[in-house]
Structure 1
Amino acid sequence: MDGIEFVRQMAERKKGIQFMMYTVYDDDKRIFDALRFGASGFLLKNSSPDEIVAAVREIHDGGHP
């Protein structure tokens, strides 16, 4: 099971939980699929610590990084 499938299954079971994908894949299809299946955001693993903190805050505030 990959991360996108995990998010899909968990989003169906745990309504209201927000998921942020943290991945090495910079691929439009994967980004679209992750968001379509329930991810609130998508962040690349080469992101800086400041970008990670900002993304978590954005999701917490209702945004979609």
Structure 2
Amino acid sequence: MDLDLEQQLNASAGSNIFKQLLWSSLFVFYVASFFLAGSYKKVSRDFYLKSVLLLMVVFISL
């Protein structure tokens, strides 16, 4: 029973890493396209702080 549970946890942990990499790469792509499009000129200074904090949270969670 313990062996089966351990195998299931290892299998789900691998897919969690894949999901984290997928979502973090999508987030980085979105932020990069936002800044490259020039849309950042219209937003307030608080948005920069919030986006940097969110980016740090995403990379720390990896």
Higher normalized helix content (fraction of residues): 2
Report which structure shows greater RCO (CA 8 Å, sep ≥6): 2
Output the TM-score relative to the length of structure 1. 0.32
Output the TM-score relative to the length of structure 2. 0.33
